[in-house]
Amino acid sequence: MSVFLDQEIKFLPGVGPKRAETLNKELKLFTFRDLLYYYPYKYIDRTRFYKIAEIHAQMPYIQVRGIIRGLETVGSGPKERLSARLYDNSGSLELIWFRGIKWQKENLKLDTEYIVFGKPVEFGGKISVVHPEMEIEQEKTLLPSGLFQGYYNTTENMKKKFLNSKAINKLLLTLLDLVRGKINETLPAYLVEKMKLMPLEEALTNIHKPENTLELRKATFRLKFEELFFIQLKILALKHNREQKFKGFRFEKVGYNFNTFFSDFLPFELTGAQKKVIKEIRRDLNRNIQMNRLLQGDVGSGKTLVALMTMLIAMDNGFQSCLMAPTEILAQQHYQSISRFLNGMNINVGLLTGSTKVSDRKEIHEALQNGGMQIIVGTHALIEDTVTFDKLGLVVIDEQHRFGVAQRAKLWQKNDLIPPHILVMTATPIPRTLAMTVYGDLDVSVIDELPPGRKPIHTLHFYENRRKQVYNFMHQQIEKGTQVYVVYPLISESEKMDLKDLEKGFRHLSEVFPDYRISMVHGKMKPGEKDAAMQKFKAGETQIMVATTVIEVGVDVPNAAVMVIESAERFGLSQLHQLRGRVGRGAEQSYCILMSSYKLGNESRKRLETMVRTNDGFEIAEVDMKLRGPGDLEGTQQSGMGFDLKIANLAKDSEILQLARNTANDILDDDPYLQKEQNQILLQNLLSSKETGFDWSSIS
């Protein structure tokens, strides 16, 4: 693209060093290009002119033509204001200024026709406009009357320095005049033609000053498509690149270990979804390329079992496997369940975490090095340079969004030439559009049914006035022999938020349930204390566990059948769903009770209604993304893809995203390295993009 656009923003007429500093700091706008790609968040129709007689106070904005006839200063001191009368042939309207009175008095011209734009207000039965935008009809300047005017996000700091939306608009109109004829196309001509896309220069002009709604629609589509297309092209190019460049170990055999486990040790029949996923994994492992697969499934859907059976295939082919979890308690849990599954099979499984004793560590290191240990489960401790393998063939990563790209990369280097196969597991259901972007370079498998014998969790929403009934219900459930979680959003008093905090809750519950033992867990406890409290609950020594969201990913207590979430309106939807997944892990009917205050905003109400209505993690993830927007969802920043959407919205633009992905796929199938003359423009754009992740091309 044009070098002209790489100029520093301070050189744009109307900016200068001081304003440039504010734009750099507040909006990260450094160059002409940054400003050009800073899009409006809404538009106001300035194509319509009203008669003064048509105006009423309920209108959001109005635009009128009229002549100023009277001008007077009213009041004194801080209450001083300037009042002007604007007339057209249908009536008159008062214009008022509280600031800049001296400047307005000197510059406003009587008996001159003005275009006036602003928000009408009613006071004392009369309509007026306060601080209107004014433009002399004869001297139409850069202000876009007669267009849809873009409104831009600004910060409080900017407003203090008179850099409001109107000022940004003005700068953009100056820039659009300067860049005419200097914006190069970024997409190949054949693609622009085939997709019937508006040319780039026209689209950038129309996104900032559209003539009408049709032009705005075309410009928006062009820019959204391009943004999503380049993200998909980059991700899929990495995937193609990796598949060409990195061979994988070929696991041809499904032998003794897999078959023995399947026929003699499998504790229950696999679900249809588990069988389907294992088939997909086997197909990957039997090709000569490295597997990179994302396994999605709700809490309790049986992902660990699928991972274990994949490890047994690795073992049948003479390879070791490792499973990396984000926390010590999760690693222990995986270790215990894998050891339980394999009990009696004579397979050496190890556990390596930060708290593994030095003497045990030495033994584990040796066993991994000489091939005596086939499966190792651990935390970040597995990444350390001292950990070396005889033949590492499979890496399973649990809750992938908690690991940074660089950390995962270290596991790759455990083999000299051929990288291990990668299976990434997550219990956070990821909306389809987000999966196509954040995890777009991975193949995706989904376990979408619960193991047999598991009953769906029954979710209820109660207001404060039903608390007594909730306590009675908890009492009944504990008497039946089950355990209860009570989750609070905060650890201690917060002056800003009037919330029932954890410590007060703990004291209160101790009074309400004097006959039961209660344990408490929160993020500020030392890891040892936290683990001890969790283990007590797990062993059934305490009946009620009072906690913050630290239990969101962690303890598996099949006997816990009730989850009470206090101030449930304060939690995000995916967080509520993750918390709910802590119960329902045994054969008992489980319950999730959402407690909230009466004061619920629309968004909070929608979240709680969704939780009561469905247990489907994917439906919940879609609703969550529509409510919160994709940027807030876990994983988008840590993914290493580092894309920043300026105009597209993953929650609303799934069709454009699918189209962009299909288009990118077709181009790469035909020309994997973008070597054809017609695709040179795409290659140049990929290589010059700031976030190009080619150095990460070999990492899941």
* pLDDT tens, residue by residue, 150-194: 989 999 889 888 899 989 999 999 999 999 999 999 999 999 999
pLDDT (average), residues 13-37: 95
Mean pLDDT for all residues in the chain:
86
Q: Note the pLDDT tens digit of each residue in 324-333.
A: 998 888 898 8
Tell me the whole-structure pTM to 2 decimals.
0.70
Q: Which amino acid is at 241?
A: N
Q: Which residue has the tokens 């969802």?
A: 633
Task: Tell me what pLDDT residue 162 has.
Answer: 86
Per the DSSP assignment, residues forming a β-bridge with 518 are 544
Sequence-ordered list of residues with C-beta below 8 angstroms from that of 534, at least 6 positions apart, any chain:
329, 519, 521, 545, 551, 554, 555
Q: What is the DSSP letter of 442?
A: S
Tokens 């061979």 belong to 247
Give the per-residue pLDDT at 329.
Answer: 80
- Report the alpha-carbon distance of residue 334 to residue 322 in Å, rounded: 11
Q: Which range among 242-246, 267-271, 387-391, 536-540 shows the weakest confidence by mean pLDDT? A: 242-246
Lowest mean pLDDT among 25-34, 58-67, 308-317, 436-445: 436-445
Q: Say if residue 492's pLDDT is above 80.
A: no
Between 428 and 86, name the one with better pLDDT. 86
Can you give the pLDDT at residue 233? 93
What are 314's two structure tokens?
Answer: 């690795």
- Distances from the Cα of 608 to the Cαs of 483, 553, 580, 620, in angstroms? 23, 21, 12, 11
d(CA 126, CA 516): 68
| pLDDT for residue 450 | 78
Q: Where does the pLDDT of residue 493 fall: very low under 50, low under 70, confident under 90, or very high at 90 and above?
A: low
| Domain annotation for the chain: domains and CATH numbers | 48-145 (2.40.50.140), 185-245+661-700 (no CATH), 256-447 (3.40.50.300), 458-614 (3.40.50.300)
460, 285 in Cβ contact below 8 A? no
Beta bridge partners of 376: 322, 350
Mean pLDDT of 603-617: 92
Q: Residue 387 — φ and ψ, nearest 5°? A: -85, 110
pLDDT in tens, 546-586: 998 777 555 678 899 999 999 999 888 888 998 898 888 77
Residue 69: strand, helix, or coil: strand
Report DSSP state, residue 400.
Answer: G
Say what percent of the chain tops pLDDT 90: 52
Which pLDDT does position 692 carry in this prediction? 45
Q: Give the range among 335-349, 403-417, 475-489, 626-640 with minimum mean pLDDT.
A: 626-640
> Nearest-5° angle of CA 73, CA 76, CA 80?
55
pLDDT at 411: 66
